Structure 1
Amino acid sequence: MPALGFGVFQTPPEETVNAVETALKTGYRHIDTAAAYGNERQVGEAIRRPGLDRDEVFIETKVWISDYGYDQTLHAFDKSAGKLGVDRIDLFILHQALPGRFDLTREAYRALETLLADGRVRAIGVSNFMPEHLNALMEQATIAPAVNQVEMHPYFTQPAVQAADTALGTLTQAWSPIGGITSYRGTGTSTFDDPAIGAVAAAHGRTPAQVMLRWHLQEGRSAIPKSVKAERIAENFSVFDFELTDAEIATLDALDTGVRGGPEPDAVTLEAFGRDIPEA
């Protein structure tokens, strides 16, 4: 799996094809989407456009909580694969822990294990799982998640989650990796305007976004930035030709506020967040 992926969260379907096609032409080979984003079909169309071989593009998508349960999750694979226009999904993950109905979560993960054994997916994982959720999952699961995708940026580094992932051999993957969520929450300083990040960026002749992505990669995480602007898509990919010093990495590590920008994982319930996922 390429460590740097391209995300399409909140990208409208009508903008998704162009954004993903631009990303692929820029050099990205890892595309992250989800059933709940409503743009899997457009991601699939964009992947076919540049004429790349299927094996050249790593596709990651997520099962929404409304499709948890063993049979329901097996069918969720059919829906996602149908929209993407593929026979196999490279990384198939559970979108939320759904702690209030963790029995459904366990059954959904059991379905992922079946899909893996059948060769319909190459790897399985989770998203927004906290240490207690990982522990509860592994009480019955036979295969540890390959990936745990969580909110992760310099203002919210989730050290306990990273430690729990490492203990399982699970890769931590960052959504909102450059702190985009800090810029639209409307409170406090955005990571893009942080003077410490800005100083590191200036020292390398780079942008704050590039520094934050490089920070993730050097610390061994995967990162999934998103944009619909061609210049930003290219900027976010241009992070492989410079290196942060240990002191600079420590500077970014020290910015953690412990403040989550996204929803609390324990607050995600079927009653509040359930939605029907259309058929393929």
Structure 2
Amino acid sequence: MNLPPVGLGTMGIDDPDAVATALSLGYRHLDTARIYENETVVGEGLAAGLAGGEFDREDVTVATKLWIDDLAADAVAPAARESADRLGVDAIDLLYVHRPRGDYDPEATLPALDRLVDEGLVRNVGASNFELPDLDRAVDVLDAPLAAHQTELHPLFYKPKLLDHAREHGYPVVAYSPLAGGRVREVDAVVEVADAHGTTPEAVAIAWATAKDPVVTIPKASSEAHLRANLAAANLELTESEVAAIDAVEREAELFPE
């Protein structure tokens, strides 16, 4: 599926106005999850944005995720319907398996998701926090194409082989925590590139991520200033040598390990 370079990650956002403001600025990808306990907030922000009449519902990709206790075959549909109701949407544009853990059984969970696509409650199925064997199994079992894989990705942590898999199978990688929880300000290579461009380390981190086909990002922001800055970062063009310098950073600083 086609996703914009920068979407809105909403973990921790508890004010619908932040979501509505993002939409007014041009954000067209909203990402939440059942475990964030803010699907209603996102839905209210979406409704407020739509009321302005500047865009249509079809213009916005609304994504959420089933938590590990929603993944048994008989739990998938009720959980998805609850999420759609909280979001205030007739169909969820992108529904992820949040983690392949807990009640996840690819031979049972994924067919249940396929049925929701057939019914029209879900438009696309995604994976989140999967490793390569999990991704291979999902591609094999799903009738619907795997629409996206969401994974932690920032200058201090990423797995190139996951990007290779996405290119091979034709789906985007959705990078969460692209700012490494603010730690990109402490990465010398990122700071040096930011200084060279007269911009911020945060903008460079987003530009570095989106320079890696097929990566898109979902940084969290709630203030208008940060929302604007993150959206604008997609227009920052780094040189190959600048990307390579950040690639060479010593990493393995995973923020959200299993």
TM-score (norm 1): 0.84
1:154 aligns with 2:148: no
Q: How does 1:143-182 map to 2 (within 5 A)?
A: 143-180=144-181
The whole-number CA distance in structure 2 between the counterparts of 1:106 and 1:252 is 39
Instruction: Name 1:23's counterpart in structure 2.
Output: 22
The 8 Å contact of residues 69 and 103 in structure 2, kept in 1 or not, is answered as no
Q: Matches of 1:57 and 1:135 in 2, distance apart?
A: 29
Q: What is the match of residue 274 of structure 1?
A: none
SS across alignment from 1:10: coil
* 2:71 and 2:103 in contact (8 A); partners too: no
Q: Does the aligned pair in 1 maintain the 2:110–2:141 contact within 8 Å? A: no
Name the amino acid aligned to 2:18: A
Q: Determine if the alignment matches structure 1 residue 66 to structure 2 residue 69.
A: yes
Letter in 2 for 1:68: L
1:24-43 equivalence runs, <5 A: 24-43=23-42
- 1:234 counterpart = 2:228: yes
Distance in 2 separating the partners of 1:106 and 1:140: 7
Matched residue, 2:10: 8
Whole-Å Cα distance in 2 between the matches of residues 172 and 141 of structure 1? 18
Q: Secondary structure at the match of 2:141?
A: coil
Mapped contact 2:98–2:128 kept (Cα < 8 A):
yes
Q: Is 2:239 aligned against 1:245? A: yes
Q: In structure 1, how many angstroms separate the alpha carbons of the residues matched to 2:35 and 2:107?
A: 20
Give the letter aligned to residue 122 of structure 1.
R
What fraction of aligned residue pairs are identical, expressed as a percent? Answer: 35
User: Across the two proteins, how many residue pairs are aligned to each other?
Assistant: 251
Aligned to 1:55: 58
Q: Distance in 2 between matches of 1:256 and 1:167?
A: 27
Q: TM-score, normalised by structure 2?
A: 0.91
Aligned partners of 2:185, 2:110: CA distance in 1, in Å?
Answer: 36
Structure 1 position 214 matched with structure 2 position 217:
no
In the other structure, the counterpart of 2:89 is 86
- Superposition RMSD on alpha carbons, in Å? 1.7
Deviations 1:3-31 (A, max 9, x none): 311011122x3x3x121112112211111
The residue number in structure 1 matching 2:192 is 199
| 8 Å contact kept, 1:151–1:177 | yes
**Alpha carbons of structure 1 residues 38 and 101: separation in structure 2 relative to 1, 3 Å:** closer
**Structure 1: which 4+ aligned runs deviate by more than 6 Å?**
none
Q: Could you say if the C-alpha distance between residues 139 and 49 of structure 1 is closer, same or farther in structure 2, counting changes exceeding 3 Å?
A: closer
